[in-house]
Amino acid sequence: MAIQTVGVVGCGLMGAGIAQIAAEAGYATIVREAGEAPLAKGRARIEGFLSKSVEKGKTTKEQAAATMGRLRFTTKVEDLAPCDLVVEAIVESMPAKQELFRALDGLCGPDAVFSSNTSSLSIGDMAACTKRPASFVGLHFFNPVPVMRLVEVVRTISTSDRAYQVAVEFAQKTGKTVVTAKDTPGFVVNLLLVPYLLDAIRALEKGVASAKDIDTGMQLGCGHPMGPLALLDFVGLDTTLYIADIMSHEFKDVRYAAPPLLRRMVAAGMHGKKSGRGFYDYSAPAAAPAK
Ligand SMILES: NC(=O)c1ccc[n+]([C@@H]2O[C@H](COP(=O)([O-])OP(=O)(O)OC[C@H]3O[C@@H](n4cnc5c(N)ncnc54)[C@H](O)[C@@H]3O)[C@@H](O)[C@H]2O)c1
């Protein structure tokens, strides 16, 4: 089955990137947000990314305009009815995702494939609230989506070969490399990455070193392109807390338990780069350690 129309639900950090690469790959792409303000913000994020690509000579003005021309923005869930593939990238909350998929199940055609970009929730639990569990996969992109080359395609015990192939073809057409993972919390990458990120917060809490020195240590000592605390700011501390809580609940393993500092920072609205403040302060021209 050739996919022609792709729906992207949620146009935040991840959804904006997924919508952009879907449109760049030639798909008619319908983007749905919960309200007008986040929709405008998501659209501006895509426009900003494309104009930077034009400035850097990676895309032409015409290609960027053609990409924008393939995107349609809406707040109405009913507008997703014609989609052949839906990629969900809303908040990391099972009740919110299930409510959305229940609505989509009644709207989209019987052959439409549903996918979630969740980092840690069970794809099987989302699939189970629809009448199409065989047409359900995980499509786990990485941030920033237009730049990062990996996609984890997640198969549940019910995923059909057809749905899996649709997901792989979509990911490959957007230029990504696919790894296939089982429907287990964190899949491959976050299973290994999340305990490391939480340990970096624990090191900061214990006063082992400053945020800057923890990051510099891992960059220069291990050759990582970014230190763990800068990476946490980039991913979003709120999103990381959701993921840690889900993985901790699932595995009952202290390695996944959110450190108190993470919880305090999220409660205080320090969600990282997107809120202007996390482990670093982004209100200043050059990000400085926030503590
Ligand atoms: N941030 C990352 O690095 C990263 C990486 C991979 C996967 N993910 C996953 O991607 C998903 C989105 O994460 P994010 O970082 O983009 O979050 P985000 O907070 O930046 O964006 C979520 C967006 O979804 C919108 N939204 C909420 N409910 C909605 C609904 N019912 N319909 C339409 N829009 C709705 C919100 O308004 C918001 O703009 C999560 O499941 C997260 O775990 C995040």
What are the pLDDT tens digits along the chain (291 aa)? 689 999 999 999 999 999 999 999 999 999 999 999 999 999 999 999 999 999 999 999 999 999 999 999 999 999 999 999 999 999 999 999 999 999 999 999 999 999 999 998 999 999 999 999 999 999 999 999 999 999 999 999 999 999 999 999 999 999 999 999 999 999 999 999 999 999 999 999 999 999 999 999 999 999 999 999 999 999 999 999 999 999 999 999 999 999 999 999 999 999 999 999 999 999 876 666 664
**What pTM does this model have?**
0.91
Catalytic residue flag (residue 190):
yes
Cα→Cα distances 258→45, 136, 264, Å: 30, 30, 10
Listed in sequence order, the residues at least 6 apart from 94 whose beta carbon sits closer than 8 Å to its beta carbon are: 121, 122, 125, 126
Catalytic residue flag (residue 224):
no
User: Does 240 contact ligand 1 (Cβ within 6 A)?
Assistant: no
The identity of residue 198, as a single letter, is L
Catalytic residue flag (residue 62):
no
The sign of the dihedral angle between the CA atoms of 38, 39, 40, 42 is positive
Tokens matching residue 156: 């549940």
Which DSSP category does 258 fall into?
Answer: P
3-state DSSP percent of the chain in helix, strand and coil, to 5: 50, 15, 35
CA 89 to centroid of ligand 1, rounded, Å: 5
Q: Looking at 115, 116, 152, 271, which residue is catalytic?
A: 152
Cα→Cα distances 119→92, 185, 212, Å: 8, 8, 27
User: Does 38 contact ligand 1 (Cβ within 6 A)?
Assistant: yes
